């Protein structure tokens, strides 16, 4: 059986790993990047508390010596279902079973100016670009004589009150308190604001009311300005515009507000559901297809009675769907019954700052906050990294940052080319 997997995130990689050394099955994993990365920690790369290699690992290094696993670098252009073939940007592949595990991408809700000028937070490249942007704006602010423009360089607006937005805001607030004035004495009299904006009436909407309340209180105590029930409708000339008429001047608009799946040439429109996610049956087979599957954020499955509106787009769903589909592929080989997917919710969590986090467990229903929740968050994320090398490297940087109250990774490692006429002094 020739299985082709498009996408090497949580869903795709766990599916491939589960089929390792399975006789009669050959797997080709296709990804537009040559590395796997750990999305829950990209905000720490963006804020220079982790280096990119701490949360990423090359696919070919991971697949080395695994005889029935193969990696192919490329981007999917077209699916030819009648020929059981896909067209890549650099090749074409035949398949017996095709699996989409392409995740989701940032959604700007049709706002082109926001898409063009905001800083997204979805990929490792986004995190590196954010780090460069924030660090360069700090350097500009340090020599800027105009107080108003300096404030615009230092003000940060984070849109999206989910885990990413909360974690970013908390990290920026901690940096402002412990690092900014120490390393940038030129800014000791300058006011800087950190805004966390969300269109809903609570932060961390899917979590418990207790977690939402604790998070709001902790971020407020850190000096983050929380703006709930506030929707952005434009970002022009360094000004964030809200639907209620308010504006904020900033050169740092970070977009963590929404995601959308992708559509692919060759998959009929009737096979898609809400948010461009591929609609699947209980076994993750795409509706209307005979041998094409979708798992993780790119699919929506309405057959799980506990989640009639579809599963949340979180890592645990992707991992569990990958493992279940692998078991079903093995069952197919021996003509055994297939197992429908049922999500086992293991809980949710978010980190707010040093010694501050919130954790919700569904079975039994429990809520934790503060230092104990922070330890749980650290442990779960550490063991979830793909290799021992990643775990050791990340643990080292976390330990250093905790005791030194600092980190030494604030380098602008990929500066953009200077645009002719660009001014560095305002």
- Nearest to residue 394, comparing CAs of 77, 44, 24? 44
What confidence tens digit (pLDDT) does each residue in 18-55 have? 999 899 999 999 999 999 999 999 999 998 888 899 99
Q: Tell whether 185 and 100 lie within a shared domain.
A: no
The answer, yes or no, to whether residue 420 has pLDDT greater than 90, is no
294 and 241 within one domain:
no
Give the C-alpha separation, 271 to 287, whole Å. 5
Residues 129 and 181 in one domain: yes
* pLDDT surpasses 90 at 339: yes
Report the helix count and the strand count for the chain, using DSSP H and E: 12, 25
Sheet holding 348-353, edge to edge: 348-353, 356-362, 365-369
Give the burial class of 218: count Cβ atoms within 10 A of its Cβ; 0-12 exposed, 13-18 middle, 19 or more buried: buried
Any residues with CB less than 8 A from the CB of 337 and at least 6 apart, and which?
Answer: 331
Query: Among 6, 27, 162, 18, which residue's Cα sits nearest to residue 87?
Result: 6
Q: 345, 362 in Cβ contact below 8 A?
A: yes
User: Is residue 6 a part of any domain in this protein?
Assistant: yes
Confidence (pLDDT) at 414:
63
Residues 211 and 251 in one domain: yes
Q: What is the mean pLDDT of the chain?
A: 91
Are residues 92 and 151 part of one domain? Answer: no
**Domain of 234?**
112-257
Asked if residue 272 and residue 154 are part of one domain, the reply reads: no
Output the domain CATH number for residue 285. Answer: 3.50.50.60
Question: Within 13 Å and on the Cβ side, how many CA atoms surround 83?
Answer: 10
- Please state whether beta strands 194-197 and 278-280 pair in parallel, antiparallel, or not at all (unpaired): unpaired
Contacts of residue 200, defined as CB under 8 A and 6 or more positions apart, other chains included, come to 161, 228, 229
Domain closes at, from 284, 304, 333: 333
- 354 within domain boundaries: no
Structure-block tokens of residue 65:
């010596």
Asked if residue 212 and residue 119 are part of one domain, the reply reads yes
The domain boundary, picked from 278, 307, 333, lies at 333
pLDDT over 70 (residue 282): yes
Whether 193 maps to a domain, the answer reads: yes
Give the pLDDT score at 133. Answer: 92
Residue that finishes a domain, picked among 257, 273, 297:
257
275 and 232 assigned to the same domain: no
Q: What is the mean pLDDT of residues 275-304?
A: 96
What digits encode the pLDDT tens for the residues 204-217? 998 999 999 999 99
Assess if residue 305 is contained within a domain. yes
Buried b (16+ CB within 10 A) or exposed e, 391-411: bebbeebbeebeeeebbebbe
Tell me how crowded residue 175 is: count the other CB atoms within 10 A of its CB.
20
What is the torsional sign of CA 100, 106, 57, 318? negative
Each residue's pLDDT tens digit, 69-95: 999 999 999 999 999 999 999 999 999
Are 94 and 9 found together in one domain? yes
Strand partners, 56: 37
325 part of a folded domain: yes
Residue 302 and residue 206 share a domain? no
Domain identity same for 247 and 128? yes
Percent of the chain with pLDDT over 70: 95
Give CA–CA dist 144/119, Å, rounded: 22
**322 domain residue, yes or no:** yes
How many domains, in total, are found in the chain? 2
Q: Is 380 domain-assigned?
A: no
Same domain flag for 225 and 277: no
Q: Which CATH number goes with the domain that contains 145?
A: 3.50.50.100
How far, in Å, CA of 412 to CA of 128, rounded? 9
In a domain, 404, yes or no: no
């Amino acid at each position: 059986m020739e299985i082709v997997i498009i996408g090497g995130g949580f869903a795709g990689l766990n599916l491939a790993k589960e089929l390792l050394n399975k006789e009669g099955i050959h797997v080709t994993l296709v990804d537009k990047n040559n590395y796997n990365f750990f999305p829950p920690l990209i905000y720490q790369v963006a804020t220079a508390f982790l280096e990119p290699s701490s949360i990423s690992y090359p696919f070919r290094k991971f697949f080395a010596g695994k005889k029935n696993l193969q990696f192919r670098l490329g981007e999917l252009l077209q699916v030819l279902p009648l020929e059981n073939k896909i067209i890549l940007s650099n090749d074409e592949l035949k398949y017996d079973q095709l699996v989409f595990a392409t995740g989701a991408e940032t959604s700007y809700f049709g706002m082109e100016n926001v898409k063009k000028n905001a800083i997204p937070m979805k990929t490792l490249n986004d995190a590196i670009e954010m780090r460069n942007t924030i660090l360069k704006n700090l350097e500009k602010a340090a020599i800027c004589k105009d107080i108003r423009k300096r404030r615009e360089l230092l003000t940060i607006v984070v849109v999206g009150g989910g885990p990413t937005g909360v974690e970013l805001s908390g990290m920026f607030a901690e940096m402002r308190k412990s690092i900014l004035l120490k390393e940038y004495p030129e800014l000791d009299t300058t006011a800087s604001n950190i805004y966390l904006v969300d269109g809903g009436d609570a932060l961390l909407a899917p979590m418990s009311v207790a977690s939402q309340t604790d998070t709001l209180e902790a971020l407020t105590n850190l000096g983050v300005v929380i703006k709930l029930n506030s929707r952005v409708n434009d970002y022009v000339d360094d000004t964030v515009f809200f639907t209620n008429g308010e504006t904020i001047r900033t050169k740092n608009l970070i977009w963590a507000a929404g995601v959308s799946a992708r559509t692919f040439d060759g998959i009929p429109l009737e096979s898609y559901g809400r948010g461009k996610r591929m609609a699947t049956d209980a076994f993750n087979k795409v509706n209307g297809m005979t041998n094409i599957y979708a798992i993780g954020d790119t699919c929506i499955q309405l057959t799980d009675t506990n989640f009639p509106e579809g599963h949340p787009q979180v890592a645990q769903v992707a991992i569990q769907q990958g493992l279940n589909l692998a078991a079903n592929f093995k069952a197919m080989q021996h003509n055994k019954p297939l197992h429908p997917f049922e999500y086992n919710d293991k809980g949710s969590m978010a980190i707010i700052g040093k010694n501050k986090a919130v954790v919700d467990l569904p079975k039994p229903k429990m809520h934790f906050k503060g230092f104990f929740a922070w330890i749980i968050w650290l442990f779960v994320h550490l063991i979830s990294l793909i290799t021992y090398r990643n775990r050791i490297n990340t643990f080292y940087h976390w330990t250093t940052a905790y005791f030194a109250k600092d980190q030494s990774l604030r380098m602008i490692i990929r500066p953009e080319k200077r645009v002719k006429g660009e001014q560095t002094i305002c």
